[in-house]
Amino acid sequence: MRDFMKILGIAALCLSFGSPLLAADKVVVVGGTSKTGIAAIRLAQEAGYDVVGTTRSLERARERYGSDINWAVVDIKDPATVKAAFEGADYIISSIGSLEPKGDNRPENVDYKGVVNMVDAANAAGVKRFVLISSAGAGGDVRNQLNFIFNNILIWKWLGEDYLRDSEMESAILRPGSLNDDPGGVTGIDLLQIDSTAAARRQIPRADVAAVAVRCMESKDCKNKTFEMFSDLEGLVEKWKLTLAGLTEDDVTYMAMPQR
């Protein structure tokens, strides 16, 4: 009885000083200075996670978003920097994406090889689940115009997705349509498992993508699922949380990319 009372006293003391009894799960948001990435960081912070955002420029990140975020300098093309940032991580959210059709940051190096580096580092760190924000149209018709305009970006994204799907980790792969800066939580979110070039032209707020990504870190309804995401102007705002449960887990038949 005396030992039990001692434990209660220690617990009360910790709480009085604002010290957590249990350490919060660590989340690393890769591409933290992107608009989707910073939205995911803020939502994860609000949810009580220990959040680390990655950036290639610490000075630029602090200048844009302040000093209340724990930043790690990472270049996903450099496996050593990825490995260091992922140490002790429980969950990974990646919002990276190539912005250049050619050069060092072309889709092959970012959307494929960069994802390979992250998956390898996450596996080595014992990460529980990896949430990858990809793109609608990945894994679809290879004749998609984006592949011609942006150096086969949707093919490289699909190859990155597939490397994650084949890994030992649990995953959730989100394929949003065209991203916009509208406020999140205003309209419904349509979650689909389709292959439609037309659907890829539909839009969705970055804030809504970030909200789904944060929920998918732990929700059993997201486990090992790949799905498209678009705004649903006529749907109920919270309905997407129920829709997740009805999506099917990934399988080889569904994920097979068509040939030219």
E-only strand ranges, the chain: 26-30, 50-55, 70-73, 91-94, 129-133, 170-176, 178-180, 188-192, 203-205, 225-232
24-255 to CATH, choices 3.40.50.360, 3.40.50.720, 3.50.50.60, 1.10.510.10: 3.40.50.720
- Contact present, 75 and 56 (Cβ < 8 Å): yes
Three-state DSSP state, 21:
coil
pLDDT at 94 > cutoff 70: yes
pLDDT of residue 4: 42
CA 216 vs CA 61, 105, 205, 230: distances in Å: 25, 28, 17, 16
Residue with tokens 């190859």: 159
Handedness of CA 100, 106, 111, 115 (dihedral sign): negative
pLDDT of residue 174: 97
pLDDT of residue 18: 41
- In this prediction, residues 251-255 reach a mean pLDDT of 52
pLDDT at 172 > cutoff 90: yes
- Local confidence band at 256 (pLDDT 50, 70, 90 cut-offs): very low
Distance CA 102, CA 106 (A): 5
Handedness of CA 241, 256, 110, 73 (dihedral sign): positive
- Local confidence band at 146 (pLDDT 50, 70, 90 cut-offs): confident
pLDDT of residue 6: 40
pLDDT of residue 144: 84
pLDDT at 201 > cutoff 80: no
pLDDT of residue 141: 80
Distance CA 70, CA 249 (A): 34
The full set of domain ranges for the chain reads 24-255
> Who's near 137: CB < 8 A, 6+ residues apart?
144, 146, 154, 175, 197, 200
pLDDT at 40 > cutoff 80: yes
The model's pLDDT over 44-91, given as tens digits with 9 standing for 90+, comes to 999 999 999 999 999 999 999 988 999 999 999 999 999 999 999 999
